[in-house]
Amino acid sequence: MRGERIKGRNNGRGRRSVCRRVMSCHPNGASFVNHSPNGGWGCRKGLRAHHPPDSEELNECRFKNSLKETARQHLHMPGPRKFTNQEMLGMVGQVDDDALGALSTYQSVRSTLYREKGRFQPGLPTNVAQMNMGQRHKQTLDGRDFLLFDVSMSVVLEGVSLNVAYLLPGKSREIYVTAFQKFDEALRACGRSSKLKIVRSDYELALIQALLHAFLGTRHRGCHFHFAQTVGRKVQSLGLSKPYQKDPHVKMFVRQSISLAFVPPTFVRVAWRTLKSSAPTATGVSELSLYFEDTWITGNYDISQWNHYQNDGARTNNLKEAWHRKLNNVLGKAHPKIYNFVNVLQRDEALSRSTILQVLGGGQTRKRQKKWERKDDNIRKLEQRLSNGQLNLTGFLKAVHALLRDMKSAFCVLYIVC
């Protein structure tokens, strides 16, 4: 192979060219060839090659360079596997099967990609004191204040759920109180009032106590989805999954117990005594009855907290849970790095602010499905019939149970599995 010297640098092991891509050049000559700025192919041994490089290795080099560039541009992506697959799909149809087979696998480039991302982010802190939020992480994508406190609440505007997120070092009552106080301060700084009438959440006691302490005069109402889910999990832990599936009496008892959430609060204890007196004799049912009474009738939760009689508003935190699922899908892992997490929140803030502006501008919002509107209407009719004396408590429980069963309610089908 004939060639000529090109300018390079000496690293103590001989002269080599300054290049951008490294490829095999000649089996008996230079081991690598580089795409030089003036268009030729320069060998590591310092010769200019007069032939094109090996196409498979050129594709491999382009593939890796593209991966690194994507890693630098999309720091919020938690898993390089995602864009590795995207880049791989981009090569399909562009090269033949032999070239595809020669490309690096995800495991081959995984460390390289994480290292490339790490060059553009601070080191991962091992404790809160080491957390260094630079200006880029403290502002929104358009340069406004974003990280008000190192503190998710849902805000509903014209039927659209938006979110206020806080990051906490733990789940104690004291930590929750501090977080809610900071949230209140942020609202006041914006000239807004934090007077809340009803707060809906799951049944975490520390959270509930902190809410009622921080927002005096507020009423707490639990999420019906989590109420049904908790009872369903107890059914599973007591080994009642198979009896629930096979014994209609066990299934009826479980469903009617959860349907107590729609009985007037003043009649819940009476309805429960009636229901308990006719409980089936299957193994585990007595333990379930004891759990339900100790937890929901006479336990830590007041009946008014899980009761939804005449509740015309939302009964669940489904909007919030949907946001959590979306966030988890974007993050791709249960424990993301803090800086990746903040990057994702910044992008979510930009989308949420756009949604607010669109809604305020009269933009069309998502309509509620007709089946859920019909369910609410039927529940209101049953409540009216109970109030008018057209239904007794037993008949009301059976009617609510049948209605929610027909609607494939979460507590009827999702959490009682073998």
**Strand (E) or helix (H) holding 37:** none
β-bridge pairing 219-222 and 198-201: parallel
* Whether the predicted model's global pTM rises above the 0.75 cut: no
pLDDT, mean over the chain: 73
Stretch 162-168: mean pLDDT: 66
Q: Note the pLDDT tens digit of each residue in 349-407.
A: 777 777 777 777 776 677 777 887 888 888 889 988 988 889 888 888 888 888 776 44
C-alpha span between 71 and 78 (Å, rounded): 10
Confidence grade of residue 233 (pLDDT, cut at 50, 70, 90):
very high
Stretch 3-18: mean pLDDT: 39
Residue 269: burial class (beta carbons within 10 Å; 0-12, 13-18, 19+): middle
pLDDT for 409: 41
Instruction: Say if residues 272 and 297 touch (Cβ distance below 8 Å).
Output: yes
Q: Above 50 in pLDDT, residue 414? A: no
Stretch 202-212: mean pLDDT: 91
Amino acid identity at 70: T
C-alpha span between 243 and 230 (Å, rounded): 18
Stretch 107-135: mean pLDDT: 69
pLDDT for 407: 42
Instruction: Say if residues 100 and 91 touch (Cβ distance below 8 Å).
Output: yes
pLDDT for 322: 78
Confidence grade of residue 171 (pLDDT, cut at 50, 70, 90):
confident
Q: Above 80 in pLDDT, residue 288? A: yes
Confidence grade of residue 297 (pLDDT, cut at 50, 70, 90):
very high
C-alpha span between 358 and 365 (Å, rounded): 9
The most distant pair of C-alpha atoms in the chain lies apart, rounded to whole Å, by 103
Percent of all residues in the chain with a pLDDT value above 90, rounded to a whole number: 19
Residue 334 CA to chain centroid, in angstroms? 9
CB atoms within 10 A of CB 283: 11
C-alpha span between 381 and 388 (Å, rounded): 11
Q: Above 50 in pLDDT, residue 348? A: yes
